[in-house]
């Protein structure tokens, strides 16, 4: 029996751990230098740049059209919304109008992308918590159906390269609208099944309630946007504020959270998926006829007049904006991507202080980052 | 929301000695911007955030621009209001030159979202933001020298084998590999 | 009761597990490579060049206009024009490529080259099982490896090929009509005192659908 003398001080040291960049739960090559006191986080500095591919400088030497496939690869899960943000900015810069059928198609594919992204997020969040793969595979089963639709429309499952300046690249193939309606009809029951699996689960609740609480004021000041902001109770959805595209014509609600913890962020995304289904039903029903792009629209050699424009959309991760400066030449003078994932990570340290190491992984999962967008 | 001219007039009354200029934007989107001087920029930012008519509490985007011919670097801020749902108000700040007078006041104490974005502008353009809590490189590694997004950046002379070099890649290939490497003997034997 | 949420989750998992033996919808995977999923018509992986007829050199539709080389985002196409010209499907003399290389390790499969080609000569292929043992020469495809017959294009993209074939046939008919009208005008004897007849009405030159006005 070893007697422990209560008067002797036990020497303690803070341990610095580097979580990442090779880590199964950091959603890409993302590194966090965490200073730990036992299991509690005392300091956390995110380090990234491992996926920096110099998109902004490449865009300065490529034409406006050639930058569209590169935008697919920013937030590689949501290629359609990336395309839309970029083409919206160029249309603002050059003053190009979009026909109504193209606006509706853009809304339809963007809402399908929102479904993909939020089900990926729910699946990956659960995987980070330790449910090794089951919820993820259920989410991916539905995602596959949507990806098959996108492959029939654009030719590629993830790198769609679909939108052009003034509309879309091609029209919907025959039978596509019916396929989309079937998916939308089956997605509601799938969400019920998914929630039955997850939302009542005591382990999920215990690990996510009260963890990583973000107040609304800090969220606004830190530039957090998207479902993370709305989970903190702030009602700001760019689809309602700017009403870009055809969003002004659809009736949908914006779910808001109450506490701003990880569980609220997860629930806000599940509820947003249900609202997306409502938008999709309306859009698929009211899809007008007509051209998908102005027949006289210039495909090659677009030279917008000198000026600048900032265009933004509500991507599934937050506010995705493109700031373009044109000097009248065939390539942009400055091409800036406003990445929601990078800016949402700004307050990661504030969220994780005082929590344990296991919670850091869960909180990072709820922030929903994709390294393609953080690093560009 | 009020026009930029009205906003400029109010700012000049509220903050004396402020030198503000309106930079027009000829594109059809109608987004002109305000060019601020560096001494009063922080005070103007506080005013824009706290003024009850504007309440621009959300800084959406911080961009660095390299105006090579004009000879200065520039930081552009896009501000929106989440409380009143209007915007954008665009601010610009220019450095003295591109070599040694590259100091601008940091707006991170006003809007927390500028923290990582100003670090990125420092990393890629070399603008030093004074008052930033933690100014170091963010995308490039810490020991990196030079500023990659500048228009006169020359990339280092390293070269990897490329099966289809043409134009300037071909020049580099000729310098580094006077003779292209032979295919693997196993494939050649087949 | 504590644990009721977990039990409800187990019921869901059990239903999916049992269901994967009974319903096709719950069994979502196939045994690759013994079974393969059919790719839709619009699927795109990397480009290939189309040639008409049996001779890949004489029938190659490419005229080395280099529009695809200029528009390619990662610049993976490399073209050198040939000094010798050859006739195209309507008999007009066009240039041809001496070298047409595509580096498919750089190609991102975006399809912009196929979209901007004014001569329907570069289209998207659907082969994706391209792995090889060495990384230097296998991924640089030359003109001979890229050229595939029009029948292959028709099999891969039926509606696209049907539209292209119809348009090219129409161009051929118009060109032949124009040639016959020009020959008839040249052969007809001119009357001495009557005013000179105006030139024969010009059939407008066939403009390929994808051509853009060069600026």
Is A153 close to C42, i.e. CB distance below 8 A?
A: yes
Residues of chain A with pLDDT > 70: what percent? 98
Per-residue pLDDT tens for A125-169? 988 888 888 888 888 988 999 999 999 999 899 999 999 998 999
Q: What is the CA radius of gyration of chain B?
A: 23
Give the count of domains, chain B.
1
Domains of chain A: 53-375 (1.10.645.10)
Is A69 close to C28, i.e. CB distance below 8 A?
A: no
Note whether residue B155 is domain-resident: yes
Note whether residue B169 is domain-resident: yes
pTM score over 0.80: yes
C46-161 CATH fold: Alpha-Beta Plaits (3.30.70)
Note whether residue B41 is domain-resident: yes
C78 contacts on B by Cβ (under 8 Å): 164, 166
Note whether residue B189 is domain-resident: no
User: ipTM of this predicted complex?
Assistant: 0.89
pLDDT of residue B76: 93
Note whether residue B188 is domain-resident: no
Q: List the subunits that have 3+ CB pairs under 8 angstroms with A.
A: B, C
Chain A interface includes B27 (CB < 8 A): yes
pLDDT at C213 over 50: no
pLDDT, mean of residues A23-51: 88
Best mutation target among B166, B168, B173, B189 (most C Cβ atoms within 10 Å) is: B166
Model confidence band, residue A60 (pLDDT cutoffs 50, 70, 90) = very high
pLDDT of residue B177: 66
User: Cis omega before residue B88 (within 30°)?
Assistant: yes
Helix (H) or strand (E) holding B53: none
Average pLDDT, chain C: 82
pLDDT at C197 over 60: no
C2 contacts on A by Cβ (under 8 Å): 202
pLDDT of residue C201: 47
Q: How far apart are the first and last CA of chain A?
A: 59
- Residue B113: which CATH number? 3.30.460.80
CB-CB contact of A330 with A22 (8 Å): no
Per-residue pLDDT tens for A361-374? 999 989 988 999 99
Name every residue in A having a CB less than 8 A away from some CB of B: 48-49, 52, 54, 56-57, 92-95, 218, 220-225, 234, 236, 241, 304-312, 319, 321, 323, 325-326, 333-334, 336, 338, 342-343, 345-347, 375
pLDDT, mean of residues A300-324: 91
DSSP readout, C3-72?
THHHHHHHHHHHHHHHHHHH-TTT-----TTTS-PPPPTT--SEEEEEE-SS-TTTTB------HHHHH-
pLDDT of residue B59: 92
pLDDT of residue B94: 92
DSSP readout, C149-206?
EHHHHHHHSHHHHHHHHHHHHHHHHHHHHHHHHHHHHHHSPPPSSSPPPPPPPPPPPP
Helix (H) or strand (E) holding C119: none
CB-CB contact of B93 with B67 (8 Å): no
Note whether residue B171 is domain-resident: yes
Average pLDDT, chain A: 89
Q: How many CA atoms lie within 13 A of A30 on its CB side?
A: 25
Best mutation target among A332, A334, A372, A373 (most B Cβ atoms within 10 Å) is: A334
Note whether residue B184 is domain-resident: no
Domain of residue B55, residue span: 4-179
Better-predicted residue by pLDDT, B182 or C22:
C22
Q: Which residue of B has its CA nearest to A309?
A: B29
Per-residue pLDDT tens for B123-178? 999 999 999 998 989 998 888 888 999 998 888 776 666 656 666 666 776 777 66
């Amino acid at each position: 029996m070893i007697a422990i003398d209560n008067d002797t001080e036990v020497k303690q040291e803070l341990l610095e751990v580097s979580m990442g960049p090779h880590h199964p739960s950091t959603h890409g090559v993302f590194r966090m230098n965490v200073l730990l006191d036992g299991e509690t986080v005392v300091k956390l500095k995110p380090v990234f740049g491992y996926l920096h591919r110099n998109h902004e400088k490449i865009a300065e030497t490529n034409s406006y059209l050639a930058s569209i496939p590169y935008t697919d690869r920013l937030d590689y899960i949501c290629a359609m919304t990336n395309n839309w943000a970029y083409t919206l900015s160029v249309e603002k810069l050059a003053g190009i109008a979009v026909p109504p059928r193209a606006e509706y198609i853009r809304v339809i594919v963007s809402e399908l992308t929102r479904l993909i992204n939020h089900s990926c997020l729910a699946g990956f969040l659960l995987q980070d918590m330790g449910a090794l793969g089951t919820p993820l595979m259920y989410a991916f089963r539905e995602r596959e159906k949507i990806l098959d639709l996108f492959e029939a429309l654009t030719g590629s499952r993830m790198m769609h390269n679909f939108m052009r300046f003034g509309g879309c690249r091609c029209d919907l193939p025959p039978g596509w609208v019916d396929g989309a309606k079937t998916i939308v009809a089956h997605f509601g029951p799938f969400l019920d099944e998914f929630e039955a699996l997850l939302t009542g689960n005591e382990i999920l609740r215990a690990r996510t309630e009260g963890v990583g609480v973000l107040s609304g004021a800090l969220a606004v000041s830190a530039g957090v946007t998207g479902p993370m902001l709305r989970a903190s109770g702030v009602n700001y959805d760019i689809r309602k504020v700017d009403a870009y595209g055809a969003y002004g014509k659809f009736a949908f609600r914006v779910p808001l959270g109450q506490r701003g913890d990880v569980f609220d962020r997860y629930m806000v995304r599940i509820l947003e998926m249900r609202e997306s289904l409502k938008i999709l039903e309306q859009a698929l029903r009211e899809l007008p006829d007509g051209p998908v792009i102005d027949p006289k629209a210039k495909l090659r050699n677009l030279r917008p007049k000198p000026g600048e424009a900032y265009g933004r959309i509500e991507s599934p991760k937050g506010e995705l904006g493109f700031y373009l400066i044109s000097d009248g030449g065939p390539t942009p003078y400055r091409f800036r991507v406003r990445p929601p994932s990078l800016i949402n990570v700004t307050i990661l340290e504030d969220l994780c202080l005082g929590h344990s190491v296991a919670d850091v992984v869960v909180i990072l999962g709820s922030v929903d980052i994709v390294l393609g967008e953080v690093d560009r | 929301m009020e026009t930029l001219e009205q906003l400029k007039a109010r700012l000049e009354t509220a903050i004396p000695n402020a030198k503000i200029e309106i930079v027009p934007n000829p594109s059809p989107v109608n987004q002109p911007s305000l060019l601020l001087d560096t001494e009063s920029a922080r005070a103007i930012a506080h005013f824009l955030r706290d003024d009850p008519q504007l309440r621009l509490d959300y800084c959406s985007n911080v961009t660095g621009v390299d105006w090579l011919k004009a000879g200065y670097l520039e930081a552009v801020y896009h501000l929106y209001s989440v409380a009143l749902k209007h915007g954008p108000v665009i601010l610009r700040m220019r450095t003295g030159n591109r070599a040694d007078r590259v100091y601008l006041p940091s707006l991170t104490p006003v809007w927390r979202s500028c923290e990582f974005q100003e670090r990125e502008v420092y990393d890629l353009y070399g603008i030093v933001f004074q008052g930033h809590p933690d100014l170091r490189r963010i995308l490039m590694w810490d020991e990196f020298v030079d500023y990659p997004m500048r228009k006169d950046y020359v990339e280092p002379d390293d070269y990897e084998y490329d099966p289809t070099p043409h134009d300037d890649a071909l020049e580099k290939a000729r310098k580094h590999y006077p003779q292209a490497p032979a295919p693997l003997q196993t494939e050649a034997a087949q | 009761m504590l644990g009721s949420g977990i039990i409800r989750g187990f019921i869901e998992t059990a239903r999916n597990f049992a269901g994967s033996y009974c319903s096709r919808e719950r069994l979502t995977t196939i045994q690759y490579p013994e079974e393969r999923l059919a790719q839709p018509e619009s699927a795109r992986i990397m480009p290939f060049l189309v040639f008409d007829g049996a001779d890949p050199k004489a029938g190659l539709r490419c005229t080395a206009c280099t529009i695809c080389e200029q528009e390619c985002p990662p610049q993976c196409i490399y073209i050198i024009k040939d000094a010798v010209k050859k006739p195209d499907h309507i008999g007009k003399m066009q240039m041809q490529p001496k070298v047409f290389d595509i580096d498919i390790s750089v190609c991102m499969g975006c399809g912009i080259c196929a979209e901007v080609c004014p001569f329907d000569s570069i289209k998207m292929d659907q082969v994706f099982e391209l792995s090889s043992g060495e990384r230097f020469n296998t991924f640089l495809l030359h003109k001979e490896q890229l050229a595939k017959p029009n029948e292959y294009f028709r099999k891969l993209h039926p509606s696209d090929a049907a539209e292209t074939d119809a348009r090219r046939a129409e161009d051929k008919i118009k060109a032949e009509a124009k040639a016959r009208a020009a020959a008839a005008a040249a052969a007809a004897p001119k009357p001495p005192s009557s005013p000179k007849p105006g030139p024969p009405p010009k059939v407008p030159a066939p403009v390929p659908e994808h051509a853009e006005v060069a600026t």
